[in-house]
Each structure stands twice: as C-alpha cells, then as structure tokens.
Amino acid sequence: MAVNRDSSVNSCDFVLFGTLGDLARRKLLPAMYQLDRAGLLHEDTRIVGVARSAMSQQEFLDAVQTALNTFVKESLEPDVLSRYLSRLTYYSTDFTDPSGFADLKNHLAPGSVMVNYFATPPSIYGAIGKCLKENELIQPDTRVVLEKPIGNDLASSKVINDQVAEYFEENQIYRIDHYLGKETVQNLVALRFANSLFASKWDNRTIDHVQITVAEEVGIEGRWGYFDGAGQMRDMIQNHLLQVLSLVAMDPPVNLDADSIRDEKVKVLKSLRPIDHTNVYENSVRGQYARGFLRGESVPGYLEEEGANTESDCETFVALRVDIDNWRWAGVPFYLRSGKRMPTKHSEIVVQFKNPPHNLYKDLYKELPPNKLTIRLQPHEGVEIQVMNKVPGLDSSTRLQTSKLDLSFSDTFKNARIADAYERLLLECMLGNQSLFVRRDEVEQAWTWCDSIIEAWQRSNEPPKRYPAGSWGPVASVAMITRDGRAWEE
C-alpha cells in the first residue's frame, strides 16, 4: 500500500552543474530519463546542464543521448526520449566566475522551483553558491544537492558545510548518500516499524549481534587520484555503512518526517563507542588487495592499478567491531566490513538472534543454530529468516533442520522494477522531502567517529594487511570476529 502523501512533483528547473562529468552521465541524466518515463516529471520541468566546455545545444543533446544509450539498461522509448531531450538546455560557464552566471536566469522558468545539483568537486561548492547568490538566483524555495564526499575529515567537512551555509539554509540542502535511495535500505524502516514481530524483538534482550557487509567486486575503477586520498574508510564506512547502521539501530522515530528520522539516526552516531589508539587493534582491521583472481581472471593488485604510487598504504578493506553505548544495544556488537575486489558484489545485513533460554534439544544440538534475519541489500534484493523446523517423518527421535523463509523481492513483487537509488533521491529532492538526505550534524558526527580510527591507524604506522583480490579480506578480519566466538556470514 502506498504511503499517503502528495507525490505530485511541482515544475522544477533542475540545474546540473558538472553535466558532462562521470556521475552526471552514468547516473543523474539516466535517472531523470527514468523519472520522465515513469511520468514523474512535471510537464514544465526543465533540465539545464552546466559545464565549462564550449558546446552547441545539439552537441550537448548528442552527448546526453550517448550517455542514455550507454547507461540506461532498458531500450530507450522514442517518444519519451524526444520529450526528455526537449527539456534540456546547455549552459557553459566556469563555476567560479559570477559574471558567467548572468544569463543563466534566461534558462529558468518563472514559478519553477530551482534544484541545483552540484556534481562537481566539493572544493567549489562555496564558489557556485556565491555565483548563484550574486546573480540573485537563490530564493527561499531554491534547493541544492551536494554529492559526497563532504570533506576528508571533520575539519574539512565543516569548511565545506560552512561555505554552503553562507548561501543556503539547512532546509534547502540535500546531502546525498545514495545508499539511502536504495529500495532495500528504505525497506529497512518498513520492516522494522511496520511489523510488530520485529518491533518488539529489536534490542539486546533478543539480538546477539549484527553484521553489515558491503562487499564490492570492483577495484578502484581508474579513480586512483580520488581513492588513494580517501581509502575505504572515508569512501564507504563514513557514509554508507554508518547510515545503514543508523537505520538498523535507531529508536522508533516520532513519525516519518525528515527531522524525526534524522534525530534518531544522529543519536545512534553519538552513541558509537570511540575507537582510538587504546582499542584500535581489537576493533579494526585494514586491508589492501594484492594481485589475485576474480571469476577465474587474474586481476592487478591495488599498487598495480593505473596511476598507482607504489608506496601507498591506503586501505581498500575495513572490518570493524562497533559497540553502541546506549540502553537498547548495550552488549550487542555490530560487525561492519566493506572491501573492494571481494569475490562478488554482495551487501547484506544479518541480525543474529539469541538462542532460547533453555535448550530442549540438547541431545541433537549442544547449541541450537540461531535464528537469523538477513536483509539482502544487493543483488538479489530481499529478506530471509533462518528458522528451525522438525523434519517431517515418523522417526522415533525428532530430527531438526534449519530452513529459510525467503522473501525475494523479484519473486514477491513480480514485474516490479527496482529503481536506481538516484531516481528515488532526485524525485524526493524535487518533492522537497529531506528524509533520505543526510543532515549536517549526522555528517559531522560520522566524521568525528571515523577520524579517531584513522588517527589511531596513522599513529600505529602499521601498513594495511594484504589480501588477494577475489578473497574476503585479510585473515585478521576473521580473527577479529572469532575472538568473540562468532563468525562472518559467508
């Protein structure tokens, strides 16, 4: 059943800064096409692509069509394509030159809400804000969408947030974490709060521990320049994994309003037990992939990637044991791991429940296999519950077996298309709903916690542990969880 809310999108001027860049071509322009195809763009909505290169309108349309041909999975529908292309205009300027913005208003429709998407390096967010302001292009209903990373640490994130805050109020700022746009991540909230089965069993009385794995098969995809200055901690943990953890661990929000949800998420982030030089060895593992095999093919190690600097100690894998020091989660560890060049792309949350207080089947099992709730984020999106069952039969002694209640999205919601995360996020932004976007205090709290770990790693001066590409990371990550008498879900 649909949540009752006004989903009609007002007409927007969607102004895409960095329209010729990788993100715009791979994700944003295709996502807008899909929204148009689904009838979710107002007929007056326009898309203004802004970039530095001089280019004619026709050359721009050709470039967009090439991007759509390459990155839209379905074949393009001619009538949708022509409607979509007719919404587009190209505007060329340097984003740091206010005089270059003088004509931009001629591309905007009076009465439309202006949604500015900064698909550019964060270092120029402030400069673009200044140019918009000086050209009187910022109204109270104007919005701005910011891409990650917001900074490289707490200090630099504050600088970027301060720069943007000079021109936009917090209720105008939409910070992207594309994991929040994934269907399965949104389903987490529904699963937790629309089912009494879970709502009443979601704390340290029933749950033993939680695992969150985001494994990527890809390496750094030619992005050495960016990635080597970031590493997996900043690239994935600081944002995506901590956002997922917050949704798993948060208390029930008062309602589904953006700030109600974000208030609860930030409380979780504030309750994360700090990891610093005193406890970093027990609670963290850093790894870096070496040459290995993926699907039978030899793949290069991190230090052999294009653009590589052979000295780099940058991590491509992180495993963490995280404690949440609050009433609900005291004594329940959350194990997080994320890495590049894992055997397969595979992201999931596993909630492992405690065993019943007394084992009636000790003749069969010294310890009963635990109930597990697995939320498969991607691929094969779905939810699975591991339960114990009696094996049918007239045997004199009872036999038990673990089996799975499997709610695969593709089987359950037949023919439902799983929208790309950016489609959902762009739509919500045009609707003016900030609940799937990250508030400033969340970003800064996440940085505070991650900075302490990064600092402890730097202080220890220990290089990351090597793991062969195509494996599940360094053995030290297995040792970390085994010390607690637990095991990673494989």
Which residue among the candidates 42, 107, 209, 240 is catalytic per the annotation?
240
Element (H, E) at 288: strand 284-290
Q: Give the one entry of ligand NDP, ligand LXAUTJHC, none that residue 477 binds, where binding means its C-beta sits below a cut-off of 5 to 8 angstroms depending on kind.
A: none
* Cα-Cα-Cα-Cα dihedral sign, residues 292, 223, 161, 111: negative
Q: Applying CB under 6 A, which of residues 87, 148, 158, 466 lies at the interface with ligand NDP?
A: 148
Burial 380-401 (b: 16+ CB within 10 A, else e): ebbbbbbebeeeeeeeeeeeee
Residue 468, strand partner residues: 290
> Smaller CB distance to ligand NDP: residue 47 or 351?
47
Q: Give the one entry of ligand NDP, ligand LXAUTJHC, none that residue 23 binds, where binding means its C-beta sits below a cut-off of 5 to 8 angstroms depending on kind.
A: ligand NDP
> Segment contacting ligand NDP (CB under 6 A): 3-11, 107-115, 147-155, 341-349?
147-155
Retrieve residue 481's tokens.
């969880």
The reply on whether position 96 binds ligand NDP by CB under 6 A is yes
The question of whether 240 is a catalytic residue gets the answer yes
> Segment contacting ligand NDP (CB under 6 A): 16-24, 192-200, 304-312, 422-430?
16-24
> Smaller CB distance to ligand NDP: residue 51 or 258?
51
The reply on whether position 307 binds ligand NDP by CB under 6 A is no
Q: Which of 266, 216, 257 is nearest to 439 (CA)?
A: 266
* Cα-Cα-Cα-Cα dihedral sign, residues 70, 76, 82, 87: negative
Q: Give the one entry of ligand NDP, ligand LXAUTJHC, none that residue 199 binds, where binding means its C-beta sits below a cut-off of 5 to 8 angstroms depending on kind.
A: none
Q: Is the peptide bond before 110 cis (omega within 30 degrees of 0)?
A: no
The reply on whether position 216 binds ligand NDP by CB under 6 A is no
- Number of neighbours of residue 282 by Cβ within 10 angstroms: 11
Least Å from the CB of residue 472 to ligand LXAUTJHC = 17
> Smaller CB distance to ligand LXAUTJHC: residue 228 or 235?
235
Instruction: Please measure the distance between the N-terminal and C-terminal CA atoms of the chain and give it in whole angstroms.
Output: 34
The reply on whether position 463 binds ligand NDP by CB under 6 A is no
Element (H, E) at 212: strand 207-215
> Smaller CB distance to ligand LXAUTJHC: residue 218 or 330?
218
Q: Give the one entry of ligand LXAUTJHC, ligand NDP, none that residue 42 binds, where binding means its C-beta sits below a cut-off of 5 to 8 angstroms depending on kind.
A: none
Retrieve residue 75's tokens.
């074949």
**Annotated binding site for NADP(+): which residue ranges?**
52, 94-95, 148
> Smaller CB distance to ligand NDP: residue 95 or 202?
95
Residue 16, strand partner residues: 49, 117
* Cα-Cα-Cα-Cα dihedral sign, residues 21, 26, 32, 37: positive
**Annotated binding site for substrate: which residue ranges?**
178, 182, 216, 235, 340, 345
Least Å from the CB of residue 235 to ligand LXAUTJHC = 5
Least Å from the CB of residue 316 to ligand NDP = 16
What distance in Å separates the CA atoms of residue 444 and residue 328, rounded to the nearest whole number?
A: 23
Retrieve residue 340's tokens.
């590049």
The reply on whether position 18 binds ligand NDP by CB under 6 A is yes
What are the CA-CA distances from residue 310 to residues 174, 229, 381, 469, 471 (Å)? Answer: 38, 14, 38, 17, 22
* Rounded (10°) angle between helices 242-249 and 258-271: 100
The reply on whether position 59 binds ligand NDP by CB under 6 A is no
Residue of closest CB approach to ligand LXAUTJHC: 235
Q: Give the one entry of ligand LXAUTJHC, ligand NDP, none that residue 457 binds, where binding means its C-beta sits below a cut-off of 5 to 8 angstroms depending on kind.
A: none
> Smaller CB distance to ligand NDP: residue 233 or 456?
233
> Smaller CB distance to ligand NDP: residue 148 or 486?
148
Least Å from the CB of residue 376 to ligand LXAUTJHC = 13
The SS3 call for residue 114 is strand
Q: Give the one entry of ligand LXAUTJHC, ligand NDP, none that residue 120 binds, where binding means its C-beta sits below a cut-off of 5 to 8 angstroms depending on kind.
A: ligand NDP
Beta carbons of 105 and 93 less than 8 angstroms apart: no
Helix, strand, coil distribution of the chain in percent, nearest 5? 40, 20, 40
Beta carbons of 147 and 23 less than 8 angstroms apart: yes
> Segment contacting ligand NDP (CB under 6 A): 46-54, 305-313, 371-379, 418-426?
46-54
Q: Which residues bind ligand LXAUTJHC (CB under 6 A)?
A: 216, 218, 235
Using CB under 6 A as the criterion, which residues of the chain lie in contact with ligand NDP when the complex forms? 18, 20-24, 51-53, 94-96, 119-122, 124, 147-149
Catalytic (active-site) positions: 240
